[in-house]
């Protein structure tokens, strides 16, 4: 059974399983008019345990989705990444200009997710398998901060693995949104990360997914 949240358009056998939904759940506080949430598109690929194959497949899916969303041929779209910055797509417009579209990619297990923002703003995404982390308290203290440690400790043991995965996924998505590398928790950086708005993604059971936007 899957999790509730923002819908994913799944790519398989050279195409998508369904068209874009006509109405997607809005992210909380994504903007005064919700425009940022409406500009986000999420695609996914399943069953690719090999990381090289997964990377190739999710990039193909992103290119196809961008072409469909912009009405331009895939040849006009180039996925790029600069050192120390979040990846993006360069779209060559018919007018001769180049449009930059923020995007993000994540892999875990046999699932890959990709997201892009049609309004050009930054976006982060993360998918994570729900697994038991024996030393969860130490890991959370080092990377998720004291408030998260306290919240996780208050949960029953059978709910902690999913909550840990959600918290980790939110942190990773926010870091990607800001183009920052993973590092130990820092109070100053936490303030910057909290500026990003997170939303859950509807992924199959056993996984959690998060998309993060900077409104």
CATH code, domain carrying 108: 3.90.470.20
Residue 3: inside a domain:
no
Residue 77: inside a domain:
yes
Residue 198: inside a domain:
yes
Tally of structural domains, the chain? 1
| pLDDT in single tens digits along all 215 residues of the chain | 567 789 999 999 899 998 877 655 555 544 443 444 557 899 999 987 788 889 999 999 999 999 998 888 989 999 987 776 778 899 888 777 888 888 999 999 999 999 998 887 889 999 999 999 999 999 999 999 999 999 999 999 999 999 999 999 999 999 999 988 899 999 999 999 999 999 999 999 999 999 999 87
pTM of the model: 0.89
Residue 197: inside a domain:
yes
What's the Cα-to-Cα distance from 193 to each of 34, 126, 170, rounded to whole Å?
20, 14, 10
How crowded is residue 137: how many other Cβ atoms within 10 Å of its Cβ?
14
Encode 82-103: b = buried (16+ Cβ within 10 Å), e = exposed. eeeebbbbebeeeeeeebebbb
For strands 40-46 and 9-12, give the pairing.
parallel
Contact (Cβ atoms closer than 8 angstroms) between residue 175 and residue 212: no
Residue 176: inside a domain:
yes
* Pairwise CA distance, residues 105 & 138, whole Å: 27
Beta-bridge partners for 123: 213
169: domain range? Answer: 9-213
Residue 1: inside a domain:
no
């Amino acid at each position: 059974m899957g999790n509730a949240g923002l819908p994913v358009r799944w790519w398989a056998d050279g195409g998508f399983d369904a068209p874009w939904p006509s109405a997607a759940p809005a992210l909380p506080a994504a903007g005064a008019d919700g425009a940022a949430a409406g500009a986000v598109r999420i695609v996914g690929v399943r069953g690719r345990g090999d990381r090289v194959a997964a990377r190739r497949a999710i990039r193909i899916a992103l290119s196809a989705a961008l072409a469909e969303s912009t009405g331009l041929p895939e040849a006009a779209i180039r996925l790029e990444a600069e050192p120390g910055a979040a990846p993006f797509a360069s779209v060559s417009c018919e007018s001769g200009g180049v449009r930059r579209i923020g995007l993000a990619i994540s892999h875990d297990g046999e699932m890959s997710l990709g997201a892009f923002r049609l309004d050009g703003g930054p976006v982060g995404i993360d998918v994570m398998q729900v697994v038991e982390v024996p030393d969860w308290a130490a890991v959370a203290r080092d990377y998720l901060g004291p408030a998260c440690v306290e919240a996780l400790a208050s949960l029953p043991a059978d709910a902690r693995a999913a909550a840990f995965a959600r918290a980790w996924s939110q942190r990773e998505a926010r870091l990607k949104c800001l183009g920052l590398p993973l590092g130990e928790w820092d109070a100053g950086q936490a303030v910057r990360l909290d500026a990003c708005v997170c939303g859950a993604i509807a992924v199959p059971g056993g996984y959690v997914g998060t998309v993060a936007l900077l409104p």
